[in-house]
Amino acid sequence: MSAEDSQNQANNNDNLLTNTTITASNAEIDQIHNQDEKLAHMRHSCAHMLAQAVLELFPDAKLGIGPTIENGFYYDFDLPRTLTPDDLKILQKKMEHIAKQRQTFHRNEMEINQAIKYLEGKAQPFKVELAEDLAKDGETKVSFYENQLNDGTVKFWDLCRGGHTQNTGEVGVFKLYKIAGAYWRGDEKRPMLQRIYGLCFETQKELDDYIEMMEEAKKRDHRKLGTELGIFAFSEEIGPGLPLWLPNGAVLIEELEKLAKETEFKAGYKRVRTPLITKESLFLKSGHLPYYKDSMYAPMQIDEQNYYLKPMNCPFHHECYAASPKSYRDLPLRLAEYGTCHRYEDSGALFGLMRVRSMQMNDAHIYCTEDQFEEEFLNVVNMYLNYFKLFGIEKYVMRLSLHSKEGLGKKYINEPELWLKTEDMVRKAMKKANVPTVEIEDEAAFYGPKIDVQVWSAIGREFTLATNQIDFAVPKRFNLTYIDHDGFEKTPLCIHRAPLSTHERLIGFLIEHFAGAFPTWLAPIQVRLLPVADTHKDFAKKLSEELLDMMIRVEIDDSKDSLGKRIRNAEMMKIPYMLVIGDKEVNGENLVIRRYGSKEQKSLSWEEFKKELEGEIAKRFLNLQ
């Protein structure tokens, strides 16, 4: 890319940042953060109330964990029998009674060894295990929270860090709604517990709105629609978390890759390809094995050496950078790859396309100088914003994930000054971009701070979609250098970015976001032709061939089903355009164009239809223009 092209691109980025509609101001983001903390306390208090209710119903219940989650809470139990929906109704009433009593939450501390003995005496083995793990981590004390009546009677206690509301009457409105199985600590070799899920909101309206959204989400569930629309499948013979992309799914993948490759080509990216396996030494060099081993597949022995399936592309891209000497004139260098990665997720965490063990990532690594960092980082942010507009994503927040001092040397590279410096670099870049950002401590990558992108689907469900990370540590480990203006060797910064996430997560999101009714450019089948009778089949075939020559995905449904049923089938498959071919069409009259989701029909000549269709696809319109 020439200097002039780079400047033009920078100008375009500035315009985009200035004209983009921001979903929330920084003050509003702070308010959201405070509100989130308040809700977290309410939801965690509900989890304790649920455990109290369960112990009233099952005094010998063994308690697992009860964290807050998005929109609510859950608690895991080892119980003497399987729960039923009627049990939820009983537990709901017990929780409502506990709320009316306005039991207060009291915090107490206990020496860790004393706490372990106490929990052993209460016959709570899962709590004992948690306390023993805290002791191994060096904790000397643990905290308990008690629910007390006004007269001081303790109704419930739990090993817990907090926080909570002041009393059980301040938890808003809640509803128990689901029972599921969950292995203890996500390990399929450990006991299977029963998990009770609950919702919790400040107001009844918020709860009702969310329940309505959940009902809509069931209709849009990517697992359900993905099967019905022939997008993906799983096979027990292949293994859990390893999706098979069916022909319709393969189309989605190809269109998304085409979009990414066009976008990245214009932005000056160079494409590379790397193997699926590598020697163990590569991940020792990168530092991934010490930090990431539990999420990697077990090694295989080849030529008396351990080889691993790659869980990420970055070490391979570092080796691509190192393949030839670099000077400052070569930077920024942007290396991109839709690389296939494999990660060993716990079986209990697998969920359709959202949590899988095989994934294809819209990955790239940008090697740049410190002076180039801000522009490169903002160019990536702008790429996000362009994609949001393309997919009709109107609500989003970017989370700046920071390190924690306590995690240095354990969870994070032990470079405290570099952490503060690079976090401030990202913070300043996001402020300049005026993009809504929330700062979250202790969620960074092990090698540097990152931006995680939270988006909301058309029905208001939140997803973590993509990431943009800065790496100040690993390039040094790989001895990546460039010769600077002054003739000295220096180490580049590396930006890891994946604006389109993985195929798996993005397509899962898009299925729900569009309810399976994809924009025409993305739809697996774009046009379906329905000849009314056998005498119309040849003409339908002629039209089909013309569309195929234009690289438009077209099908002819000339089955023996009635025309009405064939129309319904096309609607069930959410095909953007449906054309019924009868005598009038064969004789050259205008076509009646049926658009999915629209009650109106258009009358166009064949040439007009082709021109409109071609333009809609080429410009990747979100809706029919």
Which residue(s) pair with 355 in the sheet? Answer: 351
pLDDT class of 35 with cuts at 50, 70, 90: low
Question: Which fold would CATH assign to domain 29-214?
Answer: Threonyl-tRNA Synthetase; Chain A, domain 2 (3.30.980)
**Which helix (H) or strand (E) element contains residue 593?**
strand 591-595
Dump pLDDT digits (tens) for 363-412: 999 999 999 999 999 999 999 999 999 999 999 988 898 988 888 877 88
Dump pLDDT digits (tens) for 328-358: 999 999 999 999 999 998 887 889 999 999 9
Lowest mean pLDDT among 22-36, 292-306, 482-496: 22-36
Instruction: Give residue limits of the domains in the chain.
Output: 29-214, 224-513, 527-618
Q: What's the pLDDT at 493?
A: 92
Q: Which two tokens stand for residue 203?
A: 């107001």
Phi then psi dihedrals of residue 529, to 5 deg? -100, 135
User: Looking at domain 527-618, what is its CATH homologous superfamily?
Assistant: Anticodon-binding domain (3.40.50.800)
Question: Which fold would CATH assign to domain 224-513?
Answer: BirA Bifunctional Protein; domain 2 (3.30.930)
pLDDT class of 283 with cuts at 50, 70, 90: very high
The pLDDT of 151-155, averaged and rounded, is 92
The pLDDT of 281-309, averaged and rounded, is 89
pLDDT class of 11 with cuts at 50, 70, 90: very low
Dump pLDDT digits (tens) for 260-271: 999 999 999 999
Given a contact cutoff of 8 angstroms between Cβ atoms, the answer to whether 144 and 188 are in contact is no
Name the pairing type of β-strands 437-440 and 591-595.
Answer: unpaired
CA 410 to chain centre: 26
Given a contact cutoff of 8 angstroms between Cβ atoms, the answer to whether 401 and 452 are in contact is yes
Given a contact cutoff of 8 angstroms between Cβ atoms, the answer to whether 375 and 508 are in contact is no
CA torsion sign for 483, 485, 486, 490 is: negative
Given a contact cutoff of 8 angstroms between Cβ atoms, the answer to whether 409 and 365 are in contact is no
User: Which parts of 160-269 are beta strand (E)?
Assistant: 173-183, 192-201, 232-233, 244-245
CA distances from 585 to 531, 558, 565, 606 (A): 10, 16, 20, 9
Q: What is the DSSP string of 90-130?
A: HHHHHHHHHHHHTPEEEEEEEEHHHHHHHHHHTT-HHHHHH
Which residue(s) pair with 144 in the sheet? Answer: 108, 159
Q: What's the pLDDT at 25?
A: 39
d(Cα 609, Cα 532) in Å, to the nearest integer?
20
Q: What's the pLDDT at 473?
A: 84
Average pLDDT, the chain: 89
Dump pLDDT digits (tens) for 461-482: 888 888 888 888 889 999 999 9
What is the value of pTM for the model shown?
0.79
Closest by alpha carbon to 511, among 103, 166, 217?
217
Do 29-214 and 527-618 share a fold? no
